[in-house]
Structure 1
Amino acid sequence: MELLLLFFLLSVGISFICSVLESVLLSINMSYVAVLEKERPSVGKLLRLQKENINKSIASILILNTIANTLGAAAVGAQASEVFGNDAVVVVSVVLTFAILFLSEIIPKTIGAIYWKQLAPLAAYFIRIFIWMTYPIILTTLAVTNKISKGKDDAHTLTKEELLESMLMSEDEGVIDEKESDVIENMLNLDNIKVSEVLTPRSVVFALDENMSVKEVIAKEDAIFK
């Protein structure tokens, strides 16, 4: 009975960790990595390496996850047969299937997607260990995945449209204010604007006394800043 519980917990536990790591890794963006490199250089560089070699990182996680699920299911089934008899194998297999579905897939991937910033530094070290453990198998899988991803280096490049949408979402979420958002949006749209569209008509141009302070200008010409 003890071995049955042990194999069950190991299978679900290892799969749980793998699912969290996979979700965290896929949620991390390169702008976060750039910031982390300044705050925590060693972790930031490690994460950058793992993101730039994401085929290797994902392969290590999926290899361990598959091994845990496959061997775990076999071990749990064998122990269930020994402890409860052959009739119990089906019941135990169903329980294990739902446990893996909820405890090792849905819940951990949700956690990873929501708390990826908090988990990213720790995940980097776990992924490095996973890569070391599975490196011989990774070399085999990379021979296939590298052919699939060949010529797709720009797949994760952020386009101007995506950057604009990201900036607008940041404004909606309160990360940046409206004026900052407008400045960034206008800068990104400069190549679509003609000089004639931004010229100020001579009739509305006015001059300020060069001896006036900024405070005086604000007080006298407050309409400028509205």
Structure 2
Amino acid sequence: MNDIPLSLLFGALALLLLLSAFFSGSETALMTLNRYRLQHLVKHHHRGATKAQKLLQRPDRLIGMILLGNNFVNILASSIATIIAIRIGGESSIAIGAGILTVVILIFSEVTPKTLAAIKPELLAFPSAWIYIPMLKVFYPFVATINFFCNLLLRLFGIHVTQNKKETISKEELKSIVSEAESLMPKRYQNILLGILDLESATVEDIMTPRHEIYGIDIDEPIENIIETIKSSSHTRLPVFKKSIDRVVGFLHLRSVLTHLNHETFDKNDILETLIKPYFIPENTPLHNQLQHFKSERLRIGLVVDEYGDVQGLVTLEDLLQEIVGELVSDDQGVSKLTDGGYLVDASVTIRELNRITGWKLPTEGPKTINGLIIEFMETIPEPGTSVRLHGHPLEIIKRTKNSVTQVKFYPNQGLPD
């Protein structure tokens, strides 16, 4: 060793530190790769991504290979640094050399490459995958021996590496990912994705038109009144019933009778002959299931019934689509944002819709509208001017009728109005 020039020893030390940086950085890069982006790149035949995915299928082997190489070069670097220290300052310089080498390894071979790998994992992961694939083949006996003892030790704690399950993600985790992806997609697309994810947690009862708001045709009324109802309708399909919506006889597609309305012979039989069979939906049907039912049955409208068979409301395919994409007609949602940051809200607005607009998390398990939530919370119908903090949100009752709250004002969360 005394015959080796110092310049050659320093060169070898620099090379070993570079290799140590490679092992450290590539380890972090491969382990912090976004698995979903990796799968996307593999599907598009990215060769570096394909090799990286192959390595990550057995992380125990990959880590064993990296640590074998990293420890080898670090120990060899330590030995060379000791020789250099002795050659320069004698045995008394060994401690100083060890201290300097430790700082150099930390800065140049550990912290810097690992930080770079954490920020730009693909920059190091894909090129290193090309190197590790052949290295694993060459050094497989050593890696396999190390893995055997490591896996044996892990089994004592009930961990089986070979039975490692595929990484999964829950619905709530996926919602968090979409919510935080504002810089990656337009806001409207983000809302659509969140709306789709919410379909599973909502039922038709959450979005239905309530019973008292159903616009339909009472077939027992005079034909003149029925014709006027058809002409003034803003809907293309109407339920037809006798006296009560509970006695529905079918749905009328207005297109099938509009051309006959002005004929003198037009009567109720013309309506009854064109009716579509009524379709009933249990009130607890999840929205994603109902969307499939509408598709399979080729229907666009249905009546929501409770456990006793009584009609509670009406749901259309448009209501389901609106739940995904938001208000199809945004001129009047019943929620107006005020200049002070508060909201003027029609109390008939559903809690889900208010949560969607404001980003709040008012409970949706019980009452479906703001009016229902206020009445349940206060156990009475409050008078105008009443102020209350509803689930953390200060509000004031603005208007009410005899049996319901009709308008409220939500104030900014810093407190109730003076």
What is the TM-score of this pair, normalised by structure 2?
0.46
Q: What's the CA shift for 1:164?
A: 1.6
Does residue 54 in structure 1 map to residue 82 in structure 2?
A: no
Does structure 1 conserve the Cα–Cα contact (< 8 Å) formed by 2:117 and 2:123? no
After superposing the two structures, state which structure 1 stretch, 117-126 or 106-115, moved more. 117-126
Separation of aligned partners in 2, 1:154 and 1:63: 26
Alignment partner, residue 14 of structure 1: 19
What SS does structure 1 have at the residue aligned with 2:329? helix
Separation of aligned partners in 2, 1:158 and 1:138: 31
Q: What's the CA shift for 1:225?
A: 5.1
- Larger Rg computed on CA atoms: 2
Separation of aligned partners in 2, 1:116 and 1:170: 19
Separation of aligned partners in 2, 1:17 and 1:5: 18
What SS does structure 2 have at the residue aligned with 1:108? helix
Distance change in 2, residues 1:46/1:165 (3 Å): same
Q: CA RMSD in A?
A: 2.7
Q: What's the CA shift for 1:41?
A: 4.1
Distance change in 2, residues 1:191/1:101 (3 Å): same
Does residue 95 in structure 1 map to residue 92 in structure 2?
A: no
Alignment partner, residue 160 of structure 2: 150
Alignment partner, residue 190 of structure 1: 199
Does structure 2 conserve the Cα–Cα contact (< 8 Å) formed by 1:20 and 1:109? yes
Q: What's the CA shift for 1:141?
A: 2.2
After superposition, give the CA deviation of every residue in 1:50-70 in whole Å (9 maximum; x if it has no partner). Answer: 121111112111110111111
Distance change in 2, residues 1:53/1:223 (3 Å): closer
Separation of aligned partners in 1, 2:208 and 2:172: 26
Distance change in 2, residues 1:84/1:19 (3 Å): same
After superposition, give the CA deviation of every residue in 1:137-192 in whole Å (9 maximum; x if it has no partner). Answer: 21012223435241772484222222221111212xx1022222222222223222
Paired residues for 1:106-185 under 5 Å: 106-147=111-152, 148=154, 149-150=159-160, 153-154=164-165, 156-171=167-182, 174-185=183-194
Structure that is richer in strand per residue: 2
Separation of aligned partners in 2, 1:17 and 1:198: 56
Matching residue's letter, 2:174: L
Matching residue's letter, 1:179: R
User: What is the number of residues matched between the two proteins?
Assistant: 213
Instruction: Pick from 51, 68, 73 the counterpart of residue 68 of structure 1.
Output: 73
Distance change in 2, residues 1:133/1:17 (3 Å): farther
Alignment partner, residue 23 of structure 1: 28
Q: Which runs of 5+ in 2 are unaligned?
A: 1-5, 216-232, 237-253, 256-326, 332-418
Alignment partner, residue 271 of structure 2: none
Alignment partner, residue 213 of structure 1: none
Instruction: Pick from 329, 348, 355 the counterpart of residue 224 of structure 1.
Output: 329
Matching residue's letter, 1:166: I
Instruction: Pick from 27, 43, 46 the counterpart of residue 48 of structure 2.
Output: 43
What SS does structure 2 have at the residue aligned with 1:224? coil
Matching residue's letter, 2:164: D
Does structure 2 conserve the Cα–Cα contact (< 8 Å) formed by 1:61 and 1:130? no
Does structure 2 conserve the Cα–Cα contact (< 8 Å) formed by 1:8 and 1:96? no
Q: Which runs of 5+ in 1 are unaligned?
A: 211-221
Separation of aligned partners in 2, 1:54 and 1:131: 12
After superposition, give the CA deviation of every residue in 1:95-138 in whole Å (9 maximum; x if it has no partner). Answer: 11000011111100011111113333212212224323432221
Distance change in 2, residues 1:58/1:168 (3 Å): same
Between the aligned residues of both structures, percent identity stands at 22
Matching residue's letter, 2:329: I
Structure with bigger RCO (C-alpha 8 Å, 6+ apart): 1
Separation of aligned partners in 2, 1:41 and 1:94: 43
What is the TM-score of this pair, normalised by structure 1?
0.82
Alignment partner, residue 207 of structure 1: 235
Structure that is richer in helix per residue: 1
Q: What's the CA shift for 1:200?
A: 3.5
Distance change in 2, residues 1:117/1:44 (3 Å): closer
Alignment partner, residue 104 of structure 1: 109
After superposition, give the CA deviation of every residue in 1:61-99 in whole Å (9 maximum; x if it has no partner). Answer: 111011111121012202321343112221111111000
Separation of aligned partners in 1, 2:100 and 2:130: 32
